[in-house]
Amino acid sequence: MISRRTALLGAAVAALVAASPALAADDLKLPRQAVELVAPPFVHPHEQATKEGPKIIEFKLPIREKEIVIDEAGTKFQAMTFNGSMPGPLMVVHEGDYVEVTLINPETNTMPHNIDFHAATGGLGGGALTHVNPGEEVVLRWKATRTGTFVYHCAPEGMIPWHVVSGMHGTVMVLPRDGLKTREGKPLRYDRIYYIGENDLYVPKDENGKYKSYETPGEAFADTTEVMRKLIPTHVVFNGKVGALTGKNAMTAKVGETVMIVHSQANRDSRPHLIGGHGDYVWETGKFTNPPEKDLETWFIRGGSAGAALYTFRQPGIYAYVNHNLIEAVELGATAHFKVEGEWNNDLMKQVKPPGPIPPSKSSAAEPTVQTR
């Protein structure tokens, strides 16, 4: 691990470099657009299809190491985050745009960090060119050549998995310039978009079985690695904590609205399922040049990828959106809720007879009865 001293030295060197004539390469004669990122499950405003030509889209991505609480029991966790959220924000651009990220590692942090974009080509996804110590920042530009939802994550040498399961991952969505389409080429649009990042967390326990807490990420490293190596997470959650997307934080929609759900898992396989709903159009692997699958019940998100699903709500009520390994959903925390307002449709579902006693059967009770009318 890099000591505080070397880190500061690094900062000094960085300061010198920054003082030299602006490297901000204006080799590209393209319009620029700065985008303000927002914390998941929300997504910054964006066009779904665009008539404009390619641009340089600028994102500012500060890294924040911070203590967070990950469950109702108040378990404390030394998180490392992009932009302060777990997962980091969803960045939306269009095919052919250039993504220009300013990665900032404030002096208040204790660790070196970098960023690897699965959507980018070469340089370990940018990881090789973005190594920043506390007190440094770096600017990376890459061209969005492929459409789809792609994970990004921190990938510092020697401790990649630990940084990822400490919270340093997010997603970039590269939309086709003319928008999403069905297999037949019919345009698809969404009224709302939510970004769900699934986290598998590995929290060490003391000899009494109580979760341990630590002052800094560094102090948690050795114990956490030991838990990680056993491959069984203590928590599997959406957006950083148990209940981050339930109750008052439940996602909302209205009957008739089409919702885009982007789901990432940077480390481990998952299988999202909307209880009481479906995936109308699902890009399971998240890549939009492949036609979407239709009418899915559950879709598979491979560890290290992000997928996208479109669903038009047809019935009001509460929908649970879970990792359909139900042990992970219920026991470990991977549950979100949608609260959907609108008018109930009795044609789609009706309780024909409420729960009540089983009427005495005319024939033998043990025999299944065949009803004839």
Partner 1 sequence: MLLVMKIKVAIAAAALASPVALTMAPVATTPSRSANSEISEIVTKPFQYRVAGDFSRDGRPAAAPLRSMQLGGNLTIMHHQVTVGEYSACADEGACPRIPQRAVMIDRPMVGVSWRDATAYAEWMTKKTGLLHRLPTDEEWVFAAGEKAADEAPPLVDPSDPAQAWIARYEAEANRARPLALDPQPIGTFGRNTHGLQDIGGNVWEWTNTCFLRFAFEAGGAARVVNTNCGVRVVQGAHRTYMTDFIRDPRTGGCAAGVPPANLGFRLVIENEKLPTVSRMVERVVATLVREK
Q: Give the residues lining the site for partner 1 (CB under 8 A).
A: 72-74, 208-210, 242, 246-248, 250, 275, 315-318, 320, 322, 326, 329-331, 333, 335, 337, 339-344, 351, 353-357
The catalytic position among 80, 154, 228, 260 is 154
The catalytic position among 111, 168, 228, 251 is 168
The catalytic position among 131, 153, 169, 235 is 153
Q: Residue 180: what are its φ and ψ, rounded to 5°?
A: -80, 155
Burial 129-159 (b: 16+ CB within 10 A, else e): bbbbbbbbbbbbbbbbeebbbbbbbbbbeeb
Rounded to whole angstroms, the Cα distance separating 88 from 41 reads: 10
In 3D space, the residue among 296, 288, 295, 276 whose CA is nearest the CA of residue 345 turns out to be 276
**Is position 297 annotated as part of the catalytic site?**
yes
The catalytic position among 273, 280, 335, 337 is 273
* Beta carbon nearer to partner 1, 295 or 343: 343
Shortest reach from residue 62's CB to partner 1, in Å:
31
Q: Residue 370: what are its φ and ψ, rounded to 5°?
A: -100, 125
**Is position 337 annotated as part of the catalytic site?**
no
Ranges of H-type helices in 230-309? none
Ranges of H-type helices in 115-243? 160-165, 217-229
* Beta carbon nearer to partner 1, 297 or 344: 344
Tell me which residue has tokens 């990938």: 155
The catalytic position among 113, 131, 169, 235 is 113
* Beta carbon nearer to partner 1, 58 or 257: 257
Shortest reach from residue 75's CB to partner 1, in Å:
10
**Is position 113 annotated as part of the catalytic site?**
yes
Shortest reach from residue 331's CB to partner 1, in Å:
7
The catalytic position among 94, 131, 263, 324 is 324
Rounded to whole angstroms, the Cα distance separating 340 from 320 reads: 11
* Beta carbon nearer to partner 1, 179 or 342: 342
* Beta carbon nearer to partner 1, 205 or 229: 205
**Is position 200 annotated as part of the catalytic site?**
no
Structure tokens at 52: 């404009």
Return the sign of the alpha-carbon dihedral for residues 239, 240, 245, 249: negative
**Is position 153 annotated as part of the catalytic site?**
yes
Shortest reach from residue 335's CB to partner 1, in Å:
5
* Beta carbon nearer to partner 1, 7 or 334: 334
Rounded to whole angstroms, the Cα distance separating 188 from 49 reads: 10
**Is position 118 annotated as part of the catalytic site?**
yes
Shortest reach from residue 361's CB to partner 1, in Å:
17
Shortest reach from residue 353's CB to partner 1, in Å:
7
In 3D space, the residue among 327, 322, 331 whose CA is nearest the CA of residue 301 turns out to be 322
**Is position 273 annotated as part of the catalytic site?**
yes
**Is position 263 annotated as part of the catalytic site?**
no
CA atoms within 13 A on the CB side of 143: 6
Q: Which residues are catalytic?
A: 113, 116, 118, 153-154, 163, 168, 273, 297-298, 324
